[in-house]
Amino acid sequence: MPERTMIEIASVTRSYGAFKALDDASLSIREGEFFSLLGPSGCGKTTLLRMIAGFDTPTSGSIAIDGQPMNGIPANRRPINMVFQSYAIFPHLNVEQNVGYGLKRLRLETGEEKRRVDEALAMVSLSGLGKRGATELSGGQRQRVALARALVMRPKVLLLDEPLSALDKKLREQMQVELRRLQQAVGITFILVTHDQYEALAMSDRIAVMFGGRIAQIAAPKEIYQRPVNRQVADFLGGMNFVQAEIVGEDAGQILVDTRALGRVRTDKPKLFRKNGGSATLGIRPERLRVLWDEATAKFEVAGKVVDRRYFGEITHLIVEIPGLEKPLSVTETNDFGADDIPIGAPIRLAYDPDALVAMGE
Amino acid sequence: MTAMRKLLANWLPAYAFLYIAFLYLPVLLLPVFSVNASPIPKFPLTGVTLDWYAGLPRTPALLDAAWNSLVVGIAASLLSTLLGICAARAITRYRFPGRRAVSGLIMAPLVLPEIIVAISLLLVLLQLGLSLSLFTVVLGHVLICIPYSMTVLTSGFEGFDRSLEEASADLGESAFGTFRRVTLPMVAPAIVSSLLVSFTISLDEFVMAFFLTGTDPTLPVYIWGQLRFAAKLPGVLALGTLLLAASFLLLTLAEMLRRRAERRANPQGGVLA
């Protein structure tokens, strides 16, 4: 991937009176990247997207697209297009007219406009539906029209505002695959706003996780999931067991901690690591703990007792009490060996990889 | 409880029937007497004739009044719709201090005693040194048409998805282009509906026209003048029937358009796959 910056956001703040919807956000997005802004509602992700699109103006800071500063440039003169959450399909126009809406202004040669519209419709598998009225479309089709309408303009950046949230689960998963494939085919920079962590993890090259108007972490999906910088990010991306540990050694990049029940662990210092007294919080994902059956042993294991069990079809969640740990550990185990049949109260041994224990910053 | 319910079930339809009969029977008598051969509106009818209708176009004063009404109606409906568009757009689209108060004040002429408003307006206009003419009638009519325009237009504008205009801008269209290609086509039915409603109101309006007109009467004022002459009554009945039919037609059309505008602004169905 060429390492050219497509979007540069420099200390952008958006205030409404005393309330800061976005607080000093800085990030740069590379050309051809699939970038997601992930966070709960009200975290500022949509505000940031709307400022990139030109529908909102930063209170301070600057936004540049492909090296061009965007201050004072209105939405209709920015080299970007957007897929709206409501899709915003023009109800008085048919599919073809919707897709060709932006081309009308370009005054293309005869036939060229039609060719580009057809090409865009083919790209989103809507060939042959050009004459269909906008109000006669299903949710999935409306979304495809919105995509085609934006892509036909050949923007430098495509913005997607929660594009899949109105679709049902099955269609949503199918569209995730299609969106990702489409992005790789056209090579355009995509910026996706979503509150669905699975969506962000499945589609993105990189993710910015946001809370309360601030960017908490920017990293690749695997990094975000496995090495979240703090408890908030860890929790938002999925289940996480938190373990208190005593710091027994420290050098420039790493700390050595004693978790008692899970032994001594050496781990990377997270960004924004702050020692509170002599203790640190470590986290381990539930699927990184594995049930040890019968005589099986592991280099790192811990014994406990099952106190609760929840069945989810392909997996089972076990809650395991470990002597010496304040909170019981949550474990997800696939059901191929019978985790769904472990009786509550049964003794159990868990294997873990100390590398999966990561220190949390605050 | 069941006895009460039984009583209601028996009497409610009868009550509804009486109520509607009381409302509309007198109105229905108008066309009936307008084709009566005898000039006296009394049963039994003496025969059927269209003479009274035939006589209408031969009355120059009536034709003048009809022309005046047409001019006033068109001017008042255009003006009140134009102002209504601005007001309805501001009220449905923006939140500003005093929004409720402003919308209340615009709607107020609906409930104010019309005769008081007419007299006040007359006093103000005379103080300003304006001479009474069809123009002053238009001013009065705009005042009472605006609440109706506002109601029709607000229901057309409300629920207008703002992201449609943003999508248009996003696709490169200017503010004016967006208005022409997206906003206008979507609210056009509501605008036409507002024009029709205000035209109808202006056409039927009497009190304002009576106080504010100079020497040119509008149709209702002309009718009022004719009522003093018993011989002219059948002609007035015929004219009234025509006015009634025109109003009914225009209002039906307006309501159909208003519903269409509402559907456009909030398209139902097909939202989920």
Domains and CATH numbers, chain B: 29-34+47-264 (1.10.3720.10)
- pLDDT per residue over A197-240, tens digit each? 999 999 999 999 999 999 999 999 999 999 999 999 999 999 99
Helix, strand, coil percent content, chain A, rounded in steps of 5:
25, 35, 35
* Domain boundaries A239-359, corresponding CATH code: 2.40.50.100
For A86, which residue in chain B has the nearest alpha carbon?
B163
- For chain A positions 276-295, those within 8 Å of chain B (CB to CB) are none
**Which among B182, B186, B273 has CB closest to A140?**
B273
Residue B266 pLDDT more than 80? no
d(C-alpha A280, C-alpha A259), whole Å:
9
- Would an 8 Å CB–CB cutoff place A65 in contact with chain B? no
3 state DSSP class of A54: coil
d(C-alpha B13, C-alpha A362), whole Å:
72
For residue B141, what pLDDT is reported? 93
Cα→Cα distances B271→A144, A167, A173, B182, B259, Å? 13, 9, 18, 20, 20
How many CB atoms are closer than 10 A to CB A271? Answer: 11
Region A328-344 average pLDDT: 89
**Average model confidence (pLDDT) for chain B?**
85
For residue B1, what pLDDT is reported? 61
Residue B14 pLDDT more than 50? yes
Phi, psi (rounded to 5 degrees) for A153: -80, -5
Region B118-127 average pLDDT: 91
Banded model confidence at residue B256, pLDDT cuts 50, 70, 90: confident
SS (H, E, C) chain B: CHHHHHHHHHHHHHHHHHHHHHHHHHHHHHHHHHCECCCCCCCCCCCECCHHHHHHHHCHHHHHHHHHHHHHHHHHHHHHHHHHHHHHHHHHHCCCCCHHHHHHHHHHHHCCCHHHHHHHHHHHHHHCCCCCCHHHHHHHHHHHHHHHHHHHHHHHHCCCCHHHHHHHHHCCCCHHHHHHHHHHHHHHHHHHHHHHHHHHHHHHCCHHHHHHCCCCCCHHHHHHHHCCCHHHHHHHHHHHHHHHHHHHHHHHHHHHHHHHHHHHHCCCCCCCC
Cα→Cα distances A303→A292, A293, A336, Å? 10, 12, 21
- Would an 8 Å CB–CB cutoff place B174 in contact with chain A? yes
Q: Where are the domains of chain A?
A: 5-231, 239-359
Fold exhibited by the domain A5-231: Rossmann fold (3.40.50)
- pLDDT per residue over A104-120, tens digit each? 888 888 889 999 999 99
Residue B182 pLDDT more than 60? yes
Q: Are B195 and B203 in contact (CB under 8 A)?
A: no
Banded model confidence at residue A2, pLDDT cuts 50, 70, 90: low
3 state DSSP class of A360: coil
With residue A182 as reference, give the H or E element that holds it: helix A169-186
d(C-alpha A26, C-alpha A62), whole Å:
9
For residue B264, what pLDDT is reported? 66
Give the ipTM.
Answer: 0.82
Chain A residues touching B189 at Cβ < 8 A? none
For A82, which residue in chain B has the nearest alpha carbon?
B170
**Which among A77, A88, A150 has CB closest to B164?**
A88
Banded model confidence at residue A74, pLDDT cuts 50, 70, 90: very high
**Which among A92, A102, A153 has CB closest to B185?**
A92
Cα→Cα distances A247→A251, A279, B2, Å? 11, 5, 79
d(C-alpha A77, C-alpha A100), whole Å:
17
**How many residues belong to chain B?**
273
**Which among A54, A88, A153 has CB closest to B163?**
A88
Q: Checking DSSP bridges between strand A19-30 and strand A5-16, what pairing results, if any?
A: antiparallel
For A315-324, B122-131, B183-192, B258-267, which range has the lowest pLDDT when averaged over its residues?
B258-267
- Would an 8 Å CB–CB cutoff place B181 in contact with chain A? yes
Chain B residues touching A149 at Cβ < 8 A? 167, 171
Burial bucket for residue B28 (CB in 10 Å: 0-12, 13-18, 19+): exposed
Whole-model pTM: value is: 0.77
